[in-house]
Structure 1
Amino acid sequence: MPVLAVNVDHVATLRQARMGIEPEPVSAAYIAEIAGATGIITHLREDRRHIQDRDVELIKQTCNTRLHLEMAATQEMQTIALDIHPEFVCLVPEKREELTTEGGLNCIGREKYLQEYLLPLHEKEIRSSLFIDAEPKQIEAAKTIGTEYIELHTGHYADAKSIIERQKEFDKLIQGIKLAQNIGLKVNLGHGLNYRNILPFKAISGIMEYSIGHAIMARAIYVGLDRAVRDMAELIRTFVV
């Protein structure tokens, strides 16, 4: 059965807007786990615009499920991951000027570097994922790199402006899912998914995990975080295995 991992970055964004002490991402992580999340996601950016090192450390210490650390493939982040020892790392692209991650990681031509980058993490039994677009060459490169998982970027699908464009992006994702599964990769989905646009994936088998943050935190403003997470977790439980 597919599961839900909740990204708590936006809780940190709200805190950092005032450079204060609340709200606490670690508290959000605790509530999300109680409500049915099977993983907590934090993206420790180079510019530290939201999640801080302290947040990752505290969530790792208190997390009752799995900590997923999203990060750029830099030496600094590798050192932090080896020290904190999350259950998962997901390598993502990172640009200082972007509002949020705008596309997948480019793996083509970087296979050797990324393979060597992940090696010490794998040796410490930290599982890895690569956040990539649903492009056949990127998926094949991910297989060469030796990651166990990929997370297909659903942002283009979520941001589509027309029914035709959305269907085109959905079909591309389905083709990517099938290719990845056929070559032995486990598939997660994430970015821009919400309570409505996630529904077409209900009949798609083999998805391991859905990574969702913004939609849950937006809903939480109106119904509370426990209810927002619980609604999404229960929705995903109805999906095919």
Structure 2
Amino acid sequence: MVRLSVNVNKIATLRNARGGNVPDLLKVVRDIESFGAEGITIHPRPDQRHIRYQDARDLKKIVRTELNIEGNPTPEFLDLVLEVLPDQVTLVPDAPDAITSNAGWDTITHRVFLKEVITRCQEAGIRTSIFIDPDPQMIRGALETGTDRVELYTEAYAREYSENPQDAVNKYSEAARTAHEIGLGLNAGHDLSLENIEYFKEHVPQLQEVSIGHALICESLYLGLENVINMYKYKLR
């Protein structure tokens, strides 16, 4: 079964909109785990517009499944990660002003930098993953950084799925085979939803973990959080 890690950035966005503590991020995370999610993902950004750095510290104390922290490995981000010591860190090359992640790493151009960051995290006992486009060349480049896993950036799949699911997933299937052949673990995330997740999982059998936030929270407005988490778990079996 593919593990479901729920990204709770949108919960923090809603909390921050009124300046108080409603909804209570920590309570929601406890509930998400009790509903069956196998992990919690957060993506703190420099402006802390949703997840705050203190949230990462607080979540470390209560998360009982796996805590995954995503982000651009700036000095401040790395300091936070090495302080909190999450189960996994996912390195994402997003600009400080990015609304959301919009590209994977060029693992060849940035190999030396990524290797240094990954080594520091692994020495602290943190599993590492690199956010990456479904390009076999970039995946082979990821192997040279020493990373444990890659996370396939699935926005293109989600965008093309409604027109032609097979064409949309083909490059991801090929990328997954490449990762599996060279011994890299495989995660995926970005714009995956109840509509497209089952097809993706069926055609990417090497998949270990998906990180889903925006769609899951939006779907929960209509269907309820507990129900939606269990719908994802059913589709990921």
TM normalised by structure 1 equals 0.93
Task: Note if 1:198 corresponds to 2:185.
Answer: no
Aligned residues: 236
Cα RMSD, aligned residues only: 1.5
Match for residue 100 of structure 1? 100
Deviates more, 1:173-182 or 1:19-28: 19-28
Task: Note if 1:142 corresponds to 2:124.
Answer: no
Residue type of the partner of 1:233?
K
Residue type of the partner of 1:47?
D
CA distance in 2: counterparts of 1:66 and 1:88, whole angstroms? 8
Deviates more, 1:93-102 or 1:193-202: 93-102
Match for residue 11 of structure 1? 11
1:198 CA drift (Å):
1.0
CA distance in 2: counterparts of 1:60 and 1:199, whole angstroms? 30
Aligned pair in 2 of structure 1 residues 207, 162: CA closer, same or farther (>3 Å)? closer
Contact 1:5/1:212 (8 A) holds in 2: yes
CA distance in 1: counterparts of 2:218 and 2:90, whole angstroms? 24
CA distance in 2: counterparts of 1:162 and 1:5, whole angstroms? 24
Match for residue 173 of structure 2? 174
Contact 1:105/1:131 (8 A) holds in 2: yes
Residue type of the partner of 1:179?
T
Residue type of the partner of 2:178?
L
1:161 CA drift (Å):
7.5
Match for residue 77 of structure 1? 77
Contact 1:115/1:146 (8 A) holds in 2: yes
Residue type of the partner of 1:156?
A
Contact 1:31/1:225 (8 A) holds in 2: no
- Structure 1 residue runs without a partner (length 5+): none
1:153-168 correspondence runs (5 A): 153-160=153-160, 163-164=163-164, 166-168=165-167
- Structure 2 residue runs without a partner (length 5+): none
Deviates more, 1:101-110 or 1:60-69: 101-110
Match for residue 119 of structure 2? 119
Residue type of the partner of 1:201?
F
Cα deviation per residue 1:131-179 (whole Å; 9 max; x = unaligned)? 1100122111111000011100111111227624x54331111110011
1:109 CA drift (Å):
1.2
CA distance in 1: counterparts of 2:201 and 2:112, whole angstroms? 36
